[in-house]
Amino acid sequence: MKATGIVKKILANYEGETPGVKGKLCAMLMHGKLGGSGKMIILPVDQGFEHGPARSFAVNPASYDPHYHYKLAIDAGLNAYAAPLGPLEAGADTFAGQIPTILKVNSANSLMSDTAGKNQAVTASVDDALRLGCAAIGFTIYPGSDTALDMMEEIVEMRREAAAKGVATVIWSYPRGEALTKAGETAMDVTAYAAHMAALLGAHVIKVKLCTDHLEQPEAKKAFEAGGIDISTQAARVAECVRSAFDGRRLIVFSGGASKGTDAVYDDARAIRDGGGGGSIIGRNSFQRPREEALEMLGKLIEIYKGRD
């Protein structure tokens, strides 16, 4: 498969990486209906770990089956499918080679007490990713948590091992924890800082949430105002996150968040596209819908990222 000029330009930004890592990034960027465009839509299904099975899947009972998610990602023509170890193992043989996969190697759960601190347990390894033929590992950090330094040290080691074995790294950088207010978790300054931290840690693909125009840190607010940084629209805020990811030298995708109406999902995608973002990583807003409705919605998102809507 010949890489397009757009994809070759993206890969050229990863100057310190091995051919193995670049090959895995190329595989994701060239796969599916957005293949070669430089944009990606990824299906992430780690919500069962995070929120529990009923909260994640009861609204669409077919989605209790891990094969459902493989099929949805493949039939929709997405770039990749991300999940923890168990779901990937449950379909790894049946769907081998049909879509690039991302092994989520750490997870949290909603049964932890509020006093435990915001943290995630390492639940899989780089060798698991190799065994399952994954294109990348996925790892969450919580900037703002009292345990954030431990999580950063964990991903530095795992990322080093993954790169040495030709596997790419996706970092979910989700601000939360003791140092932040609830509004601060999606604040403009905090989200851009989280994206930058992920880039500094060596992420090949960065995942953050869409942010608001709230500025959490007084010193950051001064810098935004002195620099005349536009944060008035969602597209402008996406552009600032892209700039914070080494001025666009690292791929950055944005999560879909909690379930919402289709018009809101489409508006988010247009803002990501117009702000220069790398695409969407959209879970609950796809697999919690009936299959045909999800396929229709994902199809329209692909058209939006192609600039046709």
Residue 74, burial from CB neighbour count under 10 angstroms (0-12, 13-18, 19+): middle
CA 245 to CA 251: how far, in whole Å?
Answer: 8
**171: β partners:** 139, 206
Q: Is 210 helix (H, G, I), strand (E, B) or coil?
A: coil
Name the catalytic one among 8, 207, 221, 260.
207
Count CB-CB contacts under 10 A for residue 295: 16
Q: What share of the chain is helix, strand, coil (3-state, %, to 5)?
A: 50, 15, 40
3-state secondary structure of 176: coil
Catalytic residue check, 209: no
In the DSSP assignment, the letter for residue 44 is E
> Which residues are bridge partners to 251 per DSSP?
205
Query: DSSP assignment of 49-84, as one string?
Result: HHH-HHHHHTTSGGGGSHHHHHHHHHHHT-SEEEE-
Report the C-alpha gap between 102 and 99 in whole angstroms.
10
Please compute Rg for the chain using Cα positions: 18
The Cα 211–Cα 142 span in angstroms is: 15
Structure tokens at 284: 């609950």
Angle ∠(208,244,297) on CA atoms, nearest 5: 35
Query: Would you list the DSSP string of 109-152?
Result: -TTS-GGG-S--EE---HHHHHHTT-SEEEEEE-TTSTTHHHHH
Which sequence positions are flagged as catalytic?
207
